[in-house]
Amino acid sequence: MVQLFDAASGASLGSISEEQLQFMLDQLEEEAAGDQDYYVNRATLEYFAEQGADPALLELLRRALGEREEMDLRWSR
C-alpha cells in the first residue's frame, strides 16, 4: 500500500493502492524525476473523474481537500 500525506502539515490522508498511485502518476506532472509531491485542486479532481479515476481515490482526495481549493500532497511506500 501507498500512504498519502498532506505536504504542508505532514498529516496522513490515508492509503491507496499501487494502481491508484499509477493513475495519479500518469495524470499529474512531475517537476523532477522521482518527484513524490503533487499539487491538486478541485479542477484536478474533476479531471481525474473525467479520466475514470477509481471512486475510492476520488473520495479520499475530496475528503483530504475539504474546504480548501488546493493542496500539495506527497506519497510514500
Q: Which three cell numbers stand for residue 1?
A: 500500500
Number of domains in the chain: 1
pLDDT digits (tens, 9 = 90+) for 3-14: 999 999 999 999
d(CA 69, CA 39): 11
What domain range is 47 assigned to? 2-76
**Residues sharing a CB contact under 8 Å with residue 59, sequence separation 6 or more, in sequence order:** none
DSSP structural state of residue 22: H
Contact criterion met (CB below 8 Å) for 72 and 7: yes
The structure's pTM equals: 0.88
As a 3-state breakdown, the chain gives helix, strand, coil percent values, each rounded to 5, of 40, 30, 30
For 37, the enclosing helix (H) or strand (E) is strand 37-41
- pLDDT tens digits, 20-59: 999 999 998 766 666 788 999 999 999 999 999 999 999 9
